[in-house]
Amino acid sequence: LTQLEAAESASAKAYQVAARALSAARAKAAPGLSEAITRAMQGLGMEGGKFEVVVQKIKEPSPHGMDNVAFLVAGHAGLTPKPIGQVASGGELSRIALAIAVTASQLGTAATLIFDEVDSGVGGAVAETVGRLLEQLGRDRQVLAVTHLPQVAACANHHLKVAKKRGPQGTTSSVLAIQGESRVGEVARMLSGERATDKTLAHAQEMLLTTATASRKESEWHSKSS
């Protein structure tokens, strides 16, 4: 019993040391993380939005230390930040997740990131920003993104077309890797609907060429910088 009590006491002291170090690290990192994610949100259709990391002490020890860490978010200017699960819509959650992933991209260890319609409710320049950020994440890990926007699809290294087909045996889904002219045609379809015109085909070709050129230049710049 004496040995067990001594072991318990030693473990409690070690826990306190580790918990205090963890609390200090969280307190130091929280402001910078809040600012970085807030900054990333501005280009994702959430102008004026704010992200806050709140670290609060708890009374009882827990497996995750002596703190309760909460993510608060205000989707737009003038709103009071509230717990992320209470105020963010599905599309906003995806974009906030993207902002977090981009901000922590150099720290994360996940080999694969999956985004389901992260571009929901956005378009134009914001959609282009989402596409570029996903492409940026894809340089260090595998990124799978479900999208209906041509601006996002054009930024991908690989384009997979998912289609449903009804038949006598029921509905089936197919996934087809497309490239070259097939990809141009698919991006044009995403731009204008089922019937692509010469103008939409030219626009799709230009969009794919522009994003590929921008990606190559940025990769070369990063290679020179490193």
Within 8 A by CB and 6+ apart from 204, the residues are 150, 154, 184, 185, 187, 188, 191, 196
* Structure confidence at residue 217 as a pLDDT band (50, 70, 90): low
**Average per-residue pLDDT in the chain?**
87
CA 52 – CA 74 distance, rounded (Å) = 9
Determine the pLDDT at residue 122. Answer: 73
Pairing relationship of beta strands 112-116 and 142-146 according to DSSP bridges: parallel
Which carries the bigger pLDDT value, residue 217 or residue 197?
Answer: 197
How many Å from the N-terminal Cα to the C-terminal Cα in the chain?
58
Secondary structure element (H or E) that encloses residue 96, with its range: helix 90-103
Determine the pLDDT at residue 35. Answer: 93
Span 139-189, pLDDT tens digits: 888 999 999 899 999 999 999 999 898 988 899 999 999 999 999 999 999
Span 8-17, pLDDT tens digits: 999 999 999 9
What is the DSSP annotation of 15-64? HHHHHHHHHHHHHHHHHHHHHHHHHHHHTTT-TT-EEEEEEEEEEEEETT
Q: Is the pLDDT of residue 215 over 80?
A: no
Span 62-110, pLDDT tens digits: 999 999 999 999 988 888 899 988 876 777 787 888 888 778 776 667 7
